[in-house]
């Protein structure tokens, strides 16, 4: 009984942070652009990129922190940002496509 209460207490305490980290953060890839090109999210947020183009694209960080495989149409890739900072990324196939995630 005590154990269950503890779990409940922990879950309650963690709830606000958890809600922030799971807020939908989505970047659409369409017409050879990342939309929005710059996205601000809280620490712990998971960002999902969805490719809406007929061309394959990737999400490849400039610093090497994250890289997706080639995403075909309607495929997606997610990454959780646990540290504050600015993360610049591009498509490895079409590197003129660039984007930025600002983690605050």
> Given the rule CB under 8 A, which residues bind another protein?
31-33, 53-56, 58, 62, 69-70, 72-73, 90, 92-98
Q: What is the 3-state secondary structure (H, E, C) of 8-52?
A: HHHHHHHHHHHHHHCCCEEEEEECCEEECCEEEECCCCEEEEEEC
Which is closer to another protein, CB of 34 or CB of 45? 34
| Beta-ladder partners of 48 | 26, 78
Least distance from C-beta 15 to another protein, angstroms? Answer: 40
Least distance from C-beta 46 to another protein, angstroms? Answer: 24
Which is closer to another protein, CB of 1 or CB of 96? 96
């Amino acid at each position: 009984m005590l154990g269950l209460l503890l779990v409940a207490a922990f879950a309650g305490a963690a709830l606000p942070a958890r809600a922030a980290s799971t807020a939908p953060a989505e970047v659409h890839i369409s017409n050879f652009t990342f939309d929005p090109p710059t996205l601000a999210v809280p620490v712990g947020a998971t960002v999902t990129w969805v490719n809406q183009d007929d061309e394959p694209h990737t999400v490849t960080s400039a610093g090497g922190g994250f890289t997706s495989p080639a995403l075909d149409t309607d495929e997606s890739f997610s990454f959780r940002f646990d540290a504050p900072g600015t993360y610049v990324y591009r498509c490895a196939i079409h590197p003129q496509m660039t984007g930025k995630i600002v983690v605050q």
